[in-house]
Structure 1
Amino acid sequence: MSCYRYVRSSRGRGVDINMAPLIDMIFILLIFFIVTSSFVRDAGVEVERPGADTAQTADRPTIQVGITENGSIHMDGEPVDIRSVRPRVAAFLAGSPEGGVLVVADRSSRTDAVIRVIDQCRLAGAENVGIAARNPY
């Protein structure tokens, strides 16, 4: 298969570049980048989640609240105070009432920080509050 095609024209012989292989390569690269990119939205903070044998994947829109090892709380990649969790969750639920809250806590985080975040989410009106865990398999 030749990448060049000779075309007869009134001005003499010309060379035309065959675009089909170039377009094929562009689509292959596009598919490669789409498949290898990650579309999972993280809490914006690195946490080591505990394992669970019964972990399930969330199938509804969720907002994630991250809790680090030292107890700091993160939403949308920025640190927040415990008092700002409730209004942010309430604003999210106003936009998507069927949504839920996913608490992504580090395995070494304190239990009282996790309980305070869950309480604030429930006070904001969230009925579906879950705790993220990694599947050990």
Structure 2
Amino acid sequence: MRRRSSRSTAEHSSDIDMTPMLDIVFIMLIFFIVTTSFVKESGIDVNRPTAQTATRKEQGNIIVSIRANGEIWIDKRQVDVRAVRANVARLHAEQPLGSVVIAADRDTRVKVLTQVMDQIRLAGITNASIATESESR
């Protein structure tokens, strides 16, 4: 009696090649990471004051917005003036090369603007900028 030899598993392999699917998953992951790393707006609109010396910064920024009624917004959330320091420090740790920009409404009280600037400096950031509109002639 002759014994049948078992066929090699390579001939009858029904494995699916996962390489193309993994490539697509990694490309999608990279796409979503890149698209979420653009400049984060504060989530509110303010009427910025105009200035003749206004320059445009292209680097990713941490934007702190102040409304005319004194509301402070960071990263699309309203925060108290006492929470500005912690929020700015956290965002600066996530984006160490980003600068801090204060987008204050032109009718914002100087007291609120000064308190926000003080909290930003207490967070260790000494080069905060104030957002303005270019003055048209």
Whether the TM-score (by the shorter chain) exceeds 0.5 is yes
Give the TM-score normalised by the residue count of structure 1: 0.66
Task: Indicate if the aligned counterparts of 2:40 and 2:75 stay in contact, CA closer than 8 A.
Answer: no
Which residue of the partner structure matches residue 48 of structure 2? 49
Q: Distance in 1 between matches of 2:64 and 2:48?
A: 13
* 1:31-110 correspondence runs (5 A): 41-110=40-109
Q: Where does structure 1 differ by over 4 angstroms across 4 or more consecutive aligned residues? A: none
Aligned residues: 99
Unaligned runs of 5+ in 1: 1-38
Q: Distance in 2 between matches of 1:91 and 1:131?
A: 20
Root-mean-square deviation (CA), in Å?
A: 1.6
Unaligned runs of 5+ in 2: 1-37
Which residue of the partner structure matches residue 4 of structure 1? none
Which residue of the partner structure matches residue 28 of structure 1? none
Question: Larger Cα Rg: Structure 1 or Structure 2?
Answer: 2
Q: Distance in 2 between matches of 1:84 and 1:133?
A: 24
Give the TM-score normalised by the residue count of structure 2: 0.66
Task: Indicate if the aligned counterparts of 2:48 and 2:103 stay in contact, CA closer than 8 A.
Answer: yes
Q: Cα offset for 1:60?
A: 2.9
Q: Cα offset for 1:52?
A: 0.4
Structure number having the greater strand percentage: 1
